[in-house]
């Protein structure tokens, strides 16, 4: 069973020359970890390095200037965390087993990963120069604004329902959706040919639209 | 592809030799109309180099006879497909070799019926794609499901116990994809079984069907407006408009049939097209009738007219 590939510690600028060289060589594809000798350092340091990398990627979703971290040093931890959080938060409140109409926990996973997979295959079929996992990484991390909107909506739902609060939730979700689409477009648009950009971006728009609909419909 | 190029080059060479051409003098050559060998050989090189150049070397002869163009195009597309084995990724890339403007043109063409029935020839013949059919169907699935839930929500406005039904999406997806992908295959199969030859290959028929669904996307969004008469008008308009395009496009493919059979097949195609729209309307939006009697909300105007006779 494949687990999400842990991030390789290449962004740490205090690395030795050997690491610099393998950073240049290994470019876009997967890294074999035998070049990095982390056997001597404490476990906490290894873990913290990975966690720092994931945290940095989350920040880069909002501050889109630096594209390298998501594209070159891709990892799937962030998407997994976000997908799990979303699936948890979208659970209904009904205690009994009656289908309350919303998606089940596993259904959210299926929608998320299959949707991202289909969007990625589409952009590859259109001739885009991006690999499967890079695209999955970008699409997953760019879900972050929508998950924040979902958290906001859950908080708002704790107050008594009024239509004013519905408008507030709606605005939150629209904001999250627009930011997600904008961020992923900023990362992925350059990988497409110029006369097909709209064809590649439309499925991304549709994907985040469907996720936004899941968020707003959750009551 | 290479054979085609060599053939064309050989043709050009022999024609040149026949004429009186001295070295360095330029002469305009007469090329026969409708001659399939007079193609401009394009490289099967970069995908999406620039606009029209991506359509790989198909004869664009504007005044050739239908028959010749059909067979020539079929020859080229069959050849093109045979060059790549089915299990490579590149085989499927040829179905996505399309630009944004082409997709938009095909969508607008699928909505406006023209009596010459040349939608196939004008838009699709050079380059059938699967991008349009797949993503139009996907969009339709989600807009229908979302609009259905929205219409449901509007009729229950004020009722905070309303829950949405996410599983309508799977029903919608099944119906739409079966209609848009299985039905063209069945139609093509029927024509092939009866006559061993069909005027279009199977990808083109799938493409026609896929694009003909594009009118239903804005219609399904407008269905959220809770007026029954508006919904029925929209259904009829959309079904008629795109159904006519569909029938006019398919009509030339039926030329081998006798008149009754061709009319029957066209009517069945049209009927199924309309049935899809009506089916959606009833399944997703037909619950308005039941909800009005059951709900306690007084927000929407349609409930006033039906609740007052009940309270009397």
Six-digit token string for B23: 């070295």
Q: Smallest Cα–Cα separation from A75: which of A103, A95, A56, A97?
A: A56
Asked if the C-beta of A217 comes within 8 angstroms of chain B's C-beta atoms, the answer is yes
SS3 A76: coil
Q: Smallest Cα–Cα separation from B294: which of B158, B168, B155, B160?
A: B155
Asked if residue A199 has pLDDT above 80, the reply is yes
Flag if A219 and B131 touch (Cβ within 8 Å): no
Q: Smallest Cα–Cα separation from A133: which of A22, A1, A7, A17?
A: A7
Asked if residue A182 has pLDDT above 70, the reply is yes
In contact, B247 and B239? CB cutoff 8 Å: no
pTM: 0.72
Q: Smallest Cα–Cα separation from A139: which of A162, A123, A118, A116?
A: A116
Q: What is the pLDDT of residue A19?
A: 46
Flag if A206 and B135 touch (Cβ within 8 Å): yes
Asked if the C-beta of A131 comes within 8 angstroms of chain B's C-beta atoms, the answer is no
Flag if B51 and A196 touch (Cβ within 8 Å): no
Asked if the C-beta of A99 comes within 8 angstroms of chain B's C-beta atoms, the answer is yes
SS3 B198: coil
Distance CA B30, CA B15 (A): 9
Asked if the C-beta of B101 comes within 8 angstroms of chain A's C-beta atoms, the answer is yes
- Looking at the complex, report in whole angstroms how far the Cα of residue A100 sits from the nearest Cα belonging to chain B: 7
- Looking at the complex, report in whole angstroms how far the Cα of residue A138 sits from the nearest Cα belonging to chain B: 21
SS3 content of chain A, % helix, strand, coil (to 5): 65, 0, 35
Asked if the C-beta of A196 comes within 8 angstroms of chain B's C-beta atoms, the answer is yes
Flag if A202 and B162 touch (Cβ within 8 Å): no
Asked if residue A211 has pLDDT above 60, the reply is yes
The values of phi and psi at residue A23, to 5°, are -65, -40
Each residue's pLDDT tens digit, B133-175 = 999 999 999 888 888 888 877 777 655 445 566 677 788 888 8
Least confident of B30-39, B129-138, B258-267: B30-39
Which burial class, exposed, middle or buried, applies to B12 when counting CB atoms under 10 A from its CB (0-12, 13-18, 19+)?
middle
Asked if residue A197 has pLDDT above 70, the reply is yes
SS3 B216: helix
CB atoms within 10 A of CB B94: 21
User: Chain B residues with CB inside 8 Å of A131's CB?
Assistant: none
Q: How many residues does chain B have?
A: 312
Q: What is the pLDDT of residue A107?
A: 86
Q: Smallest Cα–Cα separation from B285: which of B141, B138, B155, B140?
A: B155
DSSP state of A190: G
User: Chain A residues with CB inside 8 Å of B50's CB?
Assistant: 195
Asked if residue A154 has pLDDT above 50, the reply is yes
User: Chain A residues with CB inside 8 Å of B103's CB?
Assistant: 199
User: Among B48, B135, B165, whose Cβ lies nearest the Cβ of A202?
Assistant: B135
Q: What is the pLDDT of residue A26?
A: 44
Average pLDDT over residues B17-32: 56
The values of phi and psi at residue A98, to 5°, are -65, 135
CB atoms within 10 A of CB B46: 11
Each residue's pLDDT tens digit, B102-114 = 888 888 888 887 7
pLDDT class for A12, splitting at 50, 70, 90?
A: very low
Flag if B93 and A127 touch (Cβ within 8 Å): yes
Flag if A101 and B163 touch (Cβ within 8 Å): yes
User: Among A161, A198, A206, whose Cβ lies nearest the Cβ of B100?
Assistant: A198
Six-digit token string for A78: 């962030």
Q: Smallest Cα–Cα separation from B32: which of B48, B53, B17, B11?
A: B11
Average pLDDT over residues A90-114: 74
SS3 A13: coil
Report the C-alpha dihedral over residues B155, B157, B161, B162, rounded to 10 degrees: 40
Flag if B100 and A217 touch (Cβ within 8 Å): no
DSSP state of A127: T
In contact, A76 and A86? CB cutoff 8 Å: no
SS3 A157: helix
SS3 content of chain B, % helix, strand, coil (to 5): 65, 0, 35
Residues in CB range of B104: below 8 A, 6 or more apart: none
Average pLDDT over residues B26-31: 64
Flag if B135 and A161 touch (Cβ within 8 Å): no
Sign of CA dihedral A219, B220, B183, B78: negative
- Looking at the complex, report in whole angstroms how far the Cα of residue A41 sits from the nearest Cα belonging to chain B: 43
pLDDT class for A51, splitting at 50, 70, 90?
A: very high
Name the residue in chain A with its Cα closest to that of B135.
A203
Average pLDDT, chain B: 70
Residues in CB range of B30: below 8 A, 6 or more apart: none
Report the C-alpha dihedral over residues B70, B71, B74, B79, rounded to 10 degrees: -150
pLDDT class for A180, splitting at 50, 70, 90?
A: very high
Q: Count of CB contacts below 8 A, A vs B?
A: 68
Each residue's pLDDT tens digit, A156-173 = 988 887 888 888 999 999
Asked if residue B207 has pLDDT above 70, the reply is yes
Average pLDDT over residues B37-44: 42
Asked if the C-beta of B21 comes within 8 angstroms of chain A's C-beta atoms, the answer is no
Distance CA B146, CA B162 (A): 15
SS (H, E, C) B266-298: HHHHHHHHHHHHHHHHHHHHCCHHHHHHHCCCC
Asked if the C-beta of B164 comes within 8 angstroms of chain A's C-beta atoms, the answer is yes
CA–CA distances in Å: residue A157 to residues A102, B152, B156, B161, B248 = 16, 21, 19, 13, 53
Asked if residue B51 has pLDDT above 50, the reply is no
Distance CA B31, CA B28 (A): 9
Residues 242-301 of chain B whose Cβ lies under 8 A from any Cβ of chain A: none
User: Chain B residues with CB inside 8 Å of A101's CB?
Assistant: 163-167
Asked if the C-beta of A93 comes within 8 angstroms of chain B's C-beta atoms, the answer is no
**A120 CA to centre of own chain:** 13
User: Chain B residues with CB inside 8 Å of A189's CB?
Assistant: none
Distance CA A43, CA A33 (A): 16
Q: Which of A111, A125, A158 to mutate to test the interface with B (most CBs of B within 10 A)?
A: A125
HSE of B274, CA atoms in CB hemisphere, 13 A = 15
- Looking at the complex, report in whole angstroms how far the Cα of residue A178 sits from the nearest Cα belonging to chain B: 18
Distance CA B208, CA B249 (A): 8
Which burial class, exposed, middle or buried, applies to B32 when counting CB atoms under 10 A from its CB (0-12, 13-18, 19+)?
exposed
User: Chain B residues with CB inside 8 Å of A107's CB?
Assistant: 166
Q: Smallest Cα–Cα separation from A71: which of A29, A22, A115?
A: A29
User: Chain B residues with CB inside 8 Å of A219's CB?
Assistant: 160, 162-163
Each residue's pLDDT tens digit, B76-96 = 444 455 567 888 888 888 888
Each residue's pLDDT tens digit, B295-312 = 444 444 444 444 444 444
pLDDT class for A119, splitting at 50, 70, 90?
A: very high
Asked if the C-beta of B161 comes within 8 angstroms of chain A's C-beta atoms, the answer is no
HSE of B267, CA atoms in CB hemisphere, 13 A = 6
Asked if residue B242 has pLDDT above 50, the reply is yes
Place of tokens 């229950």: B156
- Looking at the complex, report in whole angstroms how far the Cα of residue B15 sits from the nearest Cα belonging to chain A: 38
Distance CA B154, CA A129 (A): 44
Name the residue in chain A with its Cα closest to that of B167.
A101
Flag if B166 and A126 touch (Cβ within 8 Å): no
CB atoms within 10 A of CB B104: 13
């Amino acid at each position: 069973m494949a687990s999400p590939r842990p991030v390789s510690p290449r962004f740490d600028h205090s690395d030795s020359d050997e690491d610099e060289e393998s950073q240049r060589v290994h470019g876009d594809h997967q890294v074999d970890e035998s070049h990095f000798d982390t056997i001597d350092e404490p476990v906490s340091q290894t873990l913290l390095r990975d966690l720092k990398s994931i945290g940095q990627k989350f920040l880069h979703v909002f501050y889109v200037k630096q594209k390298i971290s998501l594209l070159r040093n891709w990892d799937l931890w962030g998407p997994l965390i976000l997908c799990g959080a979303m699936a948890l938060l979208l659970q209904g409140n009904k205690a009994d087993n009656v289908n309350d109409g919303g998606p089940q926990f596993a259904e959210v996973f299926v929608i998320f990963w299959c949707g991202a997979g289909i969007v990625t295959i589409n952009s590859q079929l259109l001739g885009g120069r991006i690999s499967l996992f890079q695209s999955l990484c970008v699409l997953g991390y760019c879900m972050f604004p929508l998950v924040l909107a979902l958290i906001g909506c859950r908080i708002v739902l704790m107050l008594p329902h009024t239509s004013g609060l519905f408008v507030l939730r709606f605005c939150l979700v629209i904001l999250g959706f627009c930011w997600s689409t904008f961020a992923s477009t900023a990362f992925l648009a350059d990988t497409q040919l110029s006369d097909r950009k709209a064809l590649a971006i439309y499925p991304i728009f549709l994907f985040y639209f469907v996720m936004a609909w899941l968020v707003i419909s959750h009551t | 592809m290479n054979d085609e190029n060599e053939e064309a080059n050989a043709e050009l060479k022999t024609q040149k030799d026949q004429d009186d051409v001295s070295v360095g003098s330029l002469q305009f050559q007469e090329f026969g109309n409708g001659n399939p060998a007079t193609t401009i050989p394009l490289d099967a090189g970069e995908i999406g180099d620039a606009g029209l150049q991506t359509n790989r070397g198909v004869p664009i002869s504007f005044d050739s006879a239908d028959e010749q163009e059909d067979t020539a195009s079929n020859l080229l597309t069959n050849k093109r497909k045979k060059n790549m084995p089915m299990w490579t990724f590149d085989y499927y890339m040829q179905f996505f070799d399309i630009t944004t403007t082409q997709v938009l043109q095909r969508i607008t063409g699928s909505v406006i019926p023209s009596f010459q029935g040349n939608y196939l020839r004008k838009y699709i013949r050079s380059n059938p794609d699967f991008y349009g059919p797949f993503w139009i169907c996907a969009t339709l699935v989600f807009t229908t499901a979302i609009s259905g839930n929205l219409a449901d929500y509007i009729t229950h406005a004020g009722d905070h116990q309303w829950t949405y039904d996410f599983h309508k999406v799977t029903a919608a997806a099944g119906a739409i994809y079966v209609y848009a992908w299985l039905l063209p295959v069945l139609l093509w199969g029927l024509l092939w079984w009866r006559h061993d030859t069909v005027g279009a290959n199977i990808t083109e028929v799938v493409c026609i069907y896929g694009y003909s669904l594009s009118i239903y996307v804005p219609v399904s969004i407008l269905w959220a407006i809770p007026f029954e008469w508006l919904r029925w008008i929209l259904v009829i308009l959309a079904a008629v408009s795109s159904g006519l395009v569909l029938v006019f496009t398919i009509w030339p493919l039926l030329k081998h049939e006798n008149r009754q059979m061709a009319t029957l097949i066209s009517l069945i195609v049209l009927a199924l097209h309309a049935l899809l729209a009506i089916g959606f309307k009833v399944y997703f939006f037909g619950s308005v009738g039941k909800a009005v009697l059951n709900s306690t909300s007084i927000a929407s105007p349609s409930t006033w007219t039906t609740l007052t006779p009940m309270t009397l």
